[in-house]
């Protein structure tokens, strides 16, 4: 299993959710976050020289999927979240050791 974590523009959330539903994901967690990437947020000159980097509101999506679905999930997010303007976001993928569906006691891929 892998966790796909995507940081996207908030107004893209519905589009991304629909694209993920088409791929067949079973569940997801969404959190309002703020951050900045390589290009920073809003850059301002501060006292003549230094830069101040502001945090920009984003939405973080977390989806745990079987290994075989990872590429489809990445493609779906990439296509639906893209505006080609700065700040479109990032996708990170990490291994997941275990999952438990609390109601039934199922474990592993059966739990997701």
Ligand X SMILES: Nc1ncnc2c1ncn2[C@@H]1O[C@H](COP(=O)(O)OP(=O)(O)OP(=O)(O)O)[C@@H](O)[C@H]1O
Residues near ligand X (CB under 6 A) = 7, 35-39, 56, 58, 86-90
In whole angstroms, the minimum distance from the beta carbon of 19 to ligand X comes to 18
**What residues numbered 10-29 form the site for Mg ion, per CB under 5 A?**
none
In whole angstroms, the minimum distance from the beta carbon of 82 to ligand X comes to 10
Residue with Cβ nearer Mg ion (43 or 101): 43
Taking CB under 5 A as the criterion, the residue among 23, 87, 88, 108 binding Mg ion is 87
Measured in degrees and rounded to the nearest 5, phi and psi for residue 16 equal -65, -40
Our finding on whether 37 is near Mg ion (CB under 5 A) is: yes
The rounded distance, in Å, linking the Cα atoms of 72 and 68 is: 8
Residue with Cβ nearer Mg ion (37 or 108): 37
Size of the chain, expressed as the number of residues it contains: 112
In whole angstroms, the minimum distance from the beta carbon of 103 to ligand X comes to 33
Residue with Cβ nearer ligand X (41 or 108): 41
Counting beta carbons within 10 angstroms of the beta carbon of residue 23, is it exposed (0 to 12), middle (13 to 18) or buried (19 or more)? middle
User: Applying CB under 5 A, which residues contact Mg ion?
Assistant: 37, 39, 86-87
């Amino acid at each position: 299993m892998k966790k796909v974590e995507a940081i996207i523009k908030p107004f893209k959330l519905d589009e991304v959710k629909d694209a993920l539903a088409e791929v067949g994901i079973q569940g997801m967690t969404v959190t309002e976050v703020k951050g900045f990437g390589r290009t920073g947020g809003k850059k301002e000159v501060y006292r003549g020289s230094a830069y101040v980097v502001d945090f920009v509101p984003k939405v973080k999506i977390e989806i745990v999927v079987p290994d075989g679905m990872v590429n489809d999930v990445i493609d779906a997010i990439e296509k639906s979240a893209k505006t080609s303007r700065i700040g479109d976001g990032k996708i990170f993928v990490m291994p997941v050791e275990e999952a438990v569906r609390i109601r039934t006691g199922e474990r592993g891929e059966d739990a997701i």
